Amino acid sequence: MRKHLALGAVLALGLGTQAFAADGLSYNLIEGGYVRGEVDDFNLHGDGITIGGSLELGKNVFGFASVNSVDYNNTNLTSSLFNLGVGSNWALGPNVDLVSGVSWERIRVKASGVTASDDGIGLNVGLRGRIDQLELSGNVKYSDFGHGSNGFTLGASGRYYFTSAFAAGPDISHTDDGTNWGISFRYDFGKR
């Protein structure tokens, strides 16, 4: 059950895994948004919020963090994921990066007043690129919470920059257990 509940939180990690940069890309940013979590095996659907960001730590190195919480409809169930990590980017072109990261993750599930949590590790690799005002990213993430609770997540997102600092766009993630999707709003305080 924990593996399935972890899905809602893990899938919303688009924030942490989008925090990458190429020569023309910024990873000094904060984001917040809406997420819809769906766990197929239990026919669970929920709504929640996600907040996160990233910060340049040095040349080709960045830190990232995110928090999200999903309340599942018609249940007394809430799942939350906390994520803190460090990543690196390799420019493949002026506006395209190959990125990777490692993160500490904590999942917390609360049901009927009882709370359980577990710590794990996340490893991700992906691509991030920008053409004019449109930024696209895709990644593969492996998460391991121990006790047989591990798996891969495929994620993709897009951001349209309305100004040099403000952007919005969709996020989607998928595992064998279900799908998360949502929309995020970004404030970019980095390169212009």
What is residue 39's predicted lDDT score, i.e. its pLDDT?
84
Asked if 68 and 34 count as a contact pair (C-beta separation under 8 A), the reply is: no
Digit-coded pLDDT (tens) for 100-126: 999 999 989 899 889 999 999 999 999
What is residue 191's predicted lDDT score, i.e. its pLDDT?
65
What is residue 10's predicted lDDT score, i.e. its pLDDT?
34
What is residue 70's predicted lDDT score, i.e. its pLDDT?
92
CB proximity list for 62: less than 8 A, separation 6 or greater: 19, 20, 21, 27, 54, 55, 56, 86, 87, 88, 89
What is residue 88's predicted lDDT score, i.e. its pLDDT?
96
What is residue 125's predicted lDDT score, i.e. its pLDDT?
98
∠ CA 85-171-11, rounded to 5°: 55
**Torsion angles phi and psi, residue 189, rounded to 5:** -110, 25
Q: Rounded to whole angstroms, how far apart are CA atoms 43 and 28?
A: 37
Residues of the chain predicted below pLDDT 50: 1-21, 192
What is residue 23's predicted lDDT score, i.e. its pLDDT?
52
